[in-house]
Chain A
Amino acid sequence: MSRVEYVARRVLSAVVTVVLAATINFLIFRAAPGDASTQYQMCRTCSAEFRDYLREDLGLNRSVIEQYLIYMGDLFRGDLGHSFQTRAPVWDELTGPLMNTLPMVGFGLLLGLVLGFAVGTMSAWRRGTVADWAPLSGSMFLSVLPVQWIGLMLLLLFSGTLPSAGMSDPYLRFSDPSWWDTLVDRAEHMILPSLAIGLAWCGVWALIVRSALVGSLGEDYILTARAKGLHSWRIMRRYALPNSMLPIVTMLFLTFGYIVAGSLLVETVFSYPGIGLELYQAVQNRDYALLQGGFLLLTVAIVLANLLADLLYFKLDPRITR
């Protein structure tokens, strides 16, 4: 397979996946009973006429096919439509919360990665000893706990020391804060939710890193390196780790999708105004437009991350082009 052909295939399959996902996305919400015009917030004692007016205004009176064509057409132009609830562009509704979520989840995943890498490397290096199973089973235990439960425990543990809700101190602006004060405040609000995500993920990472490393450590070239009398840490760093990167990179990119999806539970525990919470509200308001936009964003993020991982394989695994 030539390099161009490989890239073209990957990109095409990514595009098809996104279109399919957008379609399913559209259909799923139409299949659910009730719509935005029957939603309590919009209309409690509304007359039938006013409901009809709302449905017309939101485009819900058109046939499903027509709605679908309009939706896909707009999507093609990069227009995600308008939120049913606030009538603001969906894109604007999503970017704010997304920007709140990215650093929090990003920091959490990084934390999980660092912890997992440390535990995984240690386990593989000291395989069969206490230094292997103790940290590994500890992190595995954490990773089977629901992330919201870890969040709740952190909340109870750090009550009074770290903020329990929100993403910034609303009164900070009255004290004329420097950029440093603002940064510290944001970081304080981020620690607990990020830590919850980090703890929940470190076990998964540790296991992947460990098994990849154990695999490479059994290879002949490692034996050769040992025979040459190289120090075992040097063997780990120069030979074992680089050759274990393939599964690790795949996993790294796959977790990007988690940024949107996985933030929901953590954000609910810490009342963190991010994308997960925004989508949760959209479900309650039956705001199709916002939900479609949000889920599409999630799909595109995962597909893009996979595509990137595929393309990166060139760099990591020369066998692909052969």
Chain B
Amino acid sequence: MTAALGRLDTVNPFADNLYGSWMARQLVYPALVQLKGTELEPAWAESWEVSDDGRSYTFHLQEGAWSDGTPLTAEDAAWTAQFELDHLDGAAGLVSFALEGVESVEAVDEQTLTVTYTEPIAEDVLTLLASFHVLPKHVYEPHAGNDGGDMLAFRPESELPLVSAGPFTMTEFDSDGTTIFEPNEGYYGEPPAVDVIGLQVFQNNEGLAQALQAGDVVWGYNAGSSVAESVGGASGVSVETAPSQEVGMVNINSNPDKPDHPELQDPAVREAMSLAIERDEVIEVELDGFGEPGRSVLAPFQERWIPEDIQADPYDPDEANRILDDLGYERGSDGIRTNADGERMSYEIVVWEEINRVAEILQKNLADVGIELTPDIAADYTATVTAPDGEYLDFDMAFSYWSLSPEPGGMLRIYSCDSWGSVNFAGYCDDEYDTVLDQQRGTVDEAERTALIGRLQEMLVREARAVLPLYHAETVHVVSDGWSGIEIDRFGPALWTNPHQG
């Protein structure tokens, strides 16, 4: 079976977190749990239980072996976790989100692992562990030197077959072509239904669309809207969509010390801008219609955590104009409004090249309500937004885009004061927000936690409006008819062991 994924530089998680390698790691490295939608399912861990204080989870692991014969034990997991925890701000920066809030990981015996969190956590948080891939300690440990720096240069696929304990092992590697995976005989779980999987890299959407129609490729994994649009209606292939796991949004500089444009701090001005945006057009242009209007900083697949009264802002330029008029921002002769200091309401939005079309729509929409917008294409995104030196004094607005993991805490943490200077693209820092954020993490009761998570979203996208959610891109797969078992909402080994012909 051939599936098309993005580029795969290496399966070494420390060196490559591109989408392609993230998916490929599920084939070769064990994870404690796996996901169906946002639901937890057992994987390497058959079962688990929580300690009375709610801080420690004990996982009972299946017996297994690495493909080179070395036993797969809890020690591998403990070593991997320890390495990641030791290098959170360094070599493990790309993967550390999976161990968010973890204090320690200990091997009790060969088949028992205890994960201890800094505070009590809800079971939902364990969904993050689906992205924690256990590495063969005997293969990776020799490269742990140089404060983890050597790990970034390590390429496990330079020796094939790859030492693997997942359902497959890699037998041929081609970062620009097709990487071949064959079943791993010693795999502890359900053996795969196919004899071989090839993950092929396509540089060109039309090439992928043609390969899908010709039957050369069975599964365009998260192929995207343009491939779906291209094969639309062709016989032998179907387009399948899953609820969006992504969010694209406009962040507004919320640093009160920003010297210019004080009016941008006003939630009413922000609301007016939000009402001026025609989200449906953004979705049509950017996603060929495969998406939903931006509603919150969480994505539709996390529906149960999004308060019902937070809905996408309607497109209402008249109301936007009314709000701005009432606030006294009058239009100049060029049609652009001025603020109380006589400054023109002309803002820059930090974007990246690929998102230029979205920026053009925003530009047009805001011009209709008397606000000028200029895209600023940034090479070094974080540096541009946080300039100068992490103080957020420069930028007005910034586009950001995230693919989310099911556990909502990670996304909400982006807007904490802790993330100031790095991923916090709004320069938002609020004591109450941080307090509630910490509170929800220690809350085990589901209803109570859901309420706290809802409260955080209220603060961010309703009260402060530091973020204007734009759109949620649906996950779009293109799948060959005549194959079954392809469950696009899965994440974990079953994603790859279930598919079969017929």
A and B assemble together: yes
Query: Which B residues lie within 8 Å of A229 (CB)?
Result: none
Contact A270 B91 (CB under 8 A): no
Contact B213 A160 (CB under 8 A): yes
* Cβ distance A150 to chain B, nearest Cβ, rounded Å: 13
State whether the Cβ of B431 lies closer than 8 Å to any Cβ in chain A: no
Assess whether B9 is interfacial by the CB under 8 Å rule: yes
Number of interface residues of B (CB under 8 A): 47
Q: Which bracket fits the contact residues of A? A: 35 or more
Shortest C-beta distance, A111 to chain B (Å), equals: 21
Partner of B210, one of A53, A57, A156, A166: A156
Cβ contact of B176, chosen from A86, A160, A277, cutoff 8 A = A277
Contact of A170 with B89 in the complex, beta carbons under 8 Å: no
Separation in Å of the B483 CB from the closest CB of chain A? 16
* Cβ B180 vs Cβ A271 within 8 A: no
Return chain A residues, CB-CB under 8 Å to B326. Answer: none
CB pair B211 A165 closer than 8 Å = yes
Chain B proximity mask over A142-173: 1 for CB below 8 Å, otherwise 0: 00000000001001100110011111101101
CB distance from B237 to the nearest CB of A (A): 12
Residue A41 at the chain B interface, CB threshold 8 Å: yes
With A and B bound together, what is the CA distance between A41 and B12 in angstroms? Answer: 12
Measured between beta carbons, the chain B residues less than 8 angstroms from A271 are: 176-177, 200-204, 207
Bound: A277/B196 CA distance, A = 27
Contact B90 A34 (CB under 8 A): no
Q: How far is the CB of A100 from chain B (nearest CB, A)?
A: 9
Chain A residue contacts of B177, Cβ below 8 A: 166-168, 170, 271, 273
CA distance A107 to B184 in the complex (A): 40
Q: In the complex, which of the residues B200, B208, B422 contacts A45, with contact meaning CB atoms closer than 8 Å?
A: B422
Q: Would you give the shortest CB distance from A44 to chain B, in whole angstroms?
A: 6
> Do residues A165 and B202 form an inter-chain contact, with CB atoms below 8 A?
yes
> Chain B's nearest CB lies how many Å from the CB of A41?
7
A268 touches B204 (CB 8 A): yes
Q: Write the nearest CB–CB distance from A175 to chain B, whole angstroms.
A: 12
Q: Is the CB of B18 within 8 A of A41?
A: yes
User: Quick one: CB contact mask for A69-96 with B, threshold 8 Å, 1 for yes?
Assistant: 0000000000000000111000000000
Question: Within the complex, what minimum Cβ distance (angstroms) separates B180 from chain A?
Answer: 6
Q: How far is the CA of A38 from the CA of B7 in the complex (A)?
A: 20
In the complex where A41-B16, A165-B208, A171-B196 touch, is A32 in contact with B379 (Cβ < 8 A)? Answer: yes
B485 within 8 A of A: no
By a CB distance below 8 angstroms, the chain B residues around A171 are 180, 196, 198
Is B206 in contact with A44, judged by CB distance below 8 angstroms? no
Q: With A and B bound together, what is the CA distance between A165 and B383 in angstroms?
A: 37
| CB < 8 Å A-B pair total | 120
A46, CB-defined interface residue at 8 Å: yes
Asked whether A86 and B17 contact (CB < 8 A) given A44-B94, A271-B203, the answer is: no
B93 close to A44 (CB less than 8 A)? yes
What 0/1 readout, one digit per residue, does chain A (166-200) give for beta carbons within 8 Å of chain B? 11101101100000000000000000000000000
Given A33-B379, A166-B178, A167-B177, A47–B214 Cβ distance below 8 Å? no
> Which residues on the B side are within 8 Å of A164 (C-beta)?
207, 210-211, 214, 216
Interface positions, chain A 80-132, Cβ under 8 Å from B, are 85-87, 97
- Specify which of A50, A165, A166 is in contact with B91 (CB 8 Å cutoff): A50
Q: Does B149 contact A (CB under 8 A)?
A: yes
Query: CB of A49 within 8 A of chain B?
Result: yes
Residues of A close to B198: CB separation below 8 A? 170-171
Q: Is B50 an interface residue (CB 8 A)?
A: no
A310: interface (CB < 8 Å): no
Question: Are the C-beta atoms of A163 and B216 separated by less than 8 Å?
Answer: yes
Which residues from A are CB-within-8-Å of B152?
42
Contact B93 A50 (CB under 8 A): yes
Quick one: closest B residue to A54, CB to CB?
B149
CB distance from A198 to the nearest CB of B (A): 19
Interface string of B374-388 (1 = CB under 8 A from A): 000001101100000
- Distance (whole angstroms) from the CB of B83 to the closest CB of chain A: 14
Docked complex Cα distance between A160 and B215 (Å): 8
Known A-B contacts A87-B153, A170-B198; the reply to A273 vs B174 at CB < 8 A is yes
Say how far B493's CB is from chain A's closest CB, in angstroms. Answer: 22
Per a CB cutoff under 8 Å, which of A33, A53, A269 touches B149?
A53
CB distance from B3 to the nearest CB of A (A): 12
- Kindly report which residue of chain B lies nearest to residue A33, judged by CB atoms: B379
Q: Are A50 and B90 in contact (CB under 8 A)?
A: yes
Give the complex CA separation of A171 and B178 in angstroms.
9
Contacts of A38 in B (CB 8 A): 380, 382-383
**Which of A166, A174, A270 is packed against the most chain B CB atoms within 10 Å?**
A166
CA distance A207 to B44 in the complex (A): 67
Answer whether residue A7 sits at the interface, using C-beta atoms and an 8 A cutoff: no
Residues in B1-32 with C-beta less than 8 Å from chain A? 2, 7, 9-10, 15-18
Chain A residues closer than 8 Å to B203, beta-carbon distance: 165, 267-269, 271, 277
Interface flags, B143-157, vs A, CB<8A=1, else 0: 000010100110100
In the bound complex, how far is the Cα of B207 from the Cα of A277, in angstroms? 15
Check B96 against A45 for contact (C-beta < 8 Å). Answer: yes
List of A residues within 8 angstroms of B94 by Cβ: 41, 44-45
B185 within 8 A of A: no
The answer to whether A269 touches B213 (Cβ under 8 A) is: no
State whether A159 touches B176 (Cβ < 8 A). no
How far apart are B461's CB and chain A's nearest CB, in angstroms?
A: 23
> CA of A173 to CA of B174 in the docked complex: distance in angstroms?
14
- By beta carbon, the residue of chain B nearest A277 is B176
Bound Cα distance from A243 to B28, whole angstroms: 64
In the complex, A16 Cα to B311 Cα: how many Å?
65
Question: What separation, in Å, do the CA atoms of A161 and B362 have in the docked complex?
Answer: 44
- With A and B bound together, what is the CA distance between A174 and B149 in angstroms? 38
What's the Cα separation between A174 and B194 when bound, in Å? Answer: 14
Considering only residues 207-241 of chain B, those with a C-beta below 8 Å from chain A are 207-208, 210-211, 213-216
Q: Which residues of B contact A47 (CB under 8 A)?
A: 89-90
Contact of B207 among A42, A44, A50, A269 (CB under 8 A): A269
In the assembled complex, how far is the CB of residue B206 from the closest CB belonging to chain A, in whole angstroms?
6
* CB under 8 Å from chain A, chain B span 125-183: 147, 149, 152-153, 155, 172, 174, 176-178, 180
Contacting residues of chain A (251-273) with chain B, CB-CB under 8 angstroms: 267-271, 273
Q: Establish whether residues B93 and A46, one from each chain, have CB atoms under 8 Å apart when the complex forms.
A: yes
Q: State whether A155 touches B380 (Cβ < 8 A).
A: no
Kindly state whether residue B429 has any CB partner on chain A within 8 Å: no
Contact with B along A25-63 (1 / 0, CB 8 A): 000000011100010011111110110011001000000
How near does chain A come to B421, taking the closest CB pair, in angstroms? 9
| A160 CB contacts on chain B under 8 angstroms | 210, 213-215
B423 interface residue (CB < 8 Å to A) = yes
CB of A28, distance to nearest CB on chain B (Å): 14
Bound form: Cα–Cα A24–B93 in Å: 34
Would you list the 8 A-B pairs with minimal beta carbon distance, nearest first?
A: A47-B89, A273-B176, A170-B178, A50-B90, A87-B153, A34-B380, A160-B214, A33-B379
Complex A-B: 23 CB contacts under 8 Å: A33-B379, A34-B379, A34-B380, A38-B382, A44-B423, A46-B93, A49-B89, A49-B90, A53-B147, A57-B149, A159-B213, A160-B215, A164-B216, A165-B203, A166-B200, A170-B174, A170-B180, A170-B200, A268-B204, A269-B207, A271-B207, A277-B203, A278-B176
Q: A41-B16, A50-B89, A267-B203 are in contact. List 12 more A-B contacts (CB 8 A).
A: A38-B380, A45-B94, A45-B422, A85-B9, A155-B206, A155-B210, A163-B216, A165-B208, A166-B177, A171-B196, A271-B177, A273-B177
